[in-house]
Amino acid sequence: MFLSFDKAALPGLPQWRRIAGIAAMACASLWLAGCAGVRTIDSDVQSYSTLQQLPSPPTYRLQLLPSQIALGPQFDTVVQQAEASLAGVGLRRDDAQGSVIAQIDAQARYIPDSWLMPGSPYHPYGGLGWGPAWGWGWRGGMMWRDTGPSLHFRAVQLTLRDVKTQQVVYETSARYEDVWVDDQVIYRILFDSALNGFPKPPQGPRRVSTTTAGAPAATPAAPVQATPAAKP
């Protein structure tokens, strides 16, 4: 990508300001182009199962908590994504004659000022290192930097209990933390990731990666209320 500018359109501006403007616009263009392409979603998953095969019959009864029911439409989106993911592994909802009881949960929050955290590429100060003509010292600085996006945290949990014994036969969770968020997409991916390998998944923690079409980063209306995480 090449950007051209007419110097006459920027009268009286010092050269460094013209360069800064060009650099900022180029970075913004590259960022938007990357967000609109294919995106890989990394989910941190933990699964534990005593199942050897699909429940018989392969049906479940969804059991919601009173607090989840009270959320109404806000939680309905989470329920829909969970049902779609469960159907994807061969389980059908049957609240009258389900062979297992399914309980789900979802979390949503964001981390304010996460771009200021050490190690963030958006941090206003660089690390200790070698810089041209500066010698050893702080490299980077405030020039041409802008505030970075906040990190968004999303997580789901799923538990299956045998309807006769009430014993937990499947427990799994998946979490996601990144600057990009689209709740309808993310929650479906998280439930799919949590059920990856069902009914005999690898035991314990692992990373599951899913490729999906990206979109410009945004903060849509969350199906469960997103709350800021406490600052350390």
pLDDT given at position 15: 58
Prediction pTM value: 0.66
**Quick one: 9 exposed, middle or buried, by C-beta within 10 A (0-12, 13-18, 19+)?**
exposed
Under 8 Å between Cβ of 11 and 186: no
Under 8 Å between Cβ of 60 and 169: no
Calculate what percentage of the chain has a pLDDT beyond 90: 52
The winner for highest mean pLDDT among 25-29, 39-43, 119-123 is: 39-43
Specify which residues 51 forms β-bridges with. Answer: none
| Confidence band of 184 (pLDDT split at 50, 70, 90) | confident
More confident residue, 21 or 48: 48
Q: pLDDT digit string (tens) for 188-229? A: 999 999 999 999 999 999 999 999 875 544 433 344 544 454
Q: pLDDT digit string (tens) for 152-178? A: 899 999 999 999 999 999 999 999 998
Encode the chain in three state secondary structure.
CCCCCCHHHCCCCCHHHHHHHHHHHHHHHHHHHHHCCEEEEEEEEEEEECCCCCCCCCEEEECCCHHHHHHCHHHHHHHHHHHHHHHHCCCEECCCCCCEEEEEEEEEEEECCHHHCCCCCCCCCCCEEEECCCEEEECCCCCCCCCCCCEEEEEEEEEEEECCCCCEEEEEEEEEEECCCCHHHHHHHHHHHHCCCCCCCCCEEEEEEEEEECCCCCCCCCCCCCEECCCC
Q: Which of 39-53, 88-102, 110-124 has the lowest mean pLDDT?
A: 110-124
Domains and CATH numbers, the chain: 43-112+150-228 (3.30.160)
Instruction: With a cut of 50, say whether residue 149 has pLDDT above it.
Output: yes
Instruction: With a cut of 80, say whether residue 44 has pLDDT above it.
Output: yes
| Confidence band of 137 (pLDDT split at 50, 70, 90) | very low
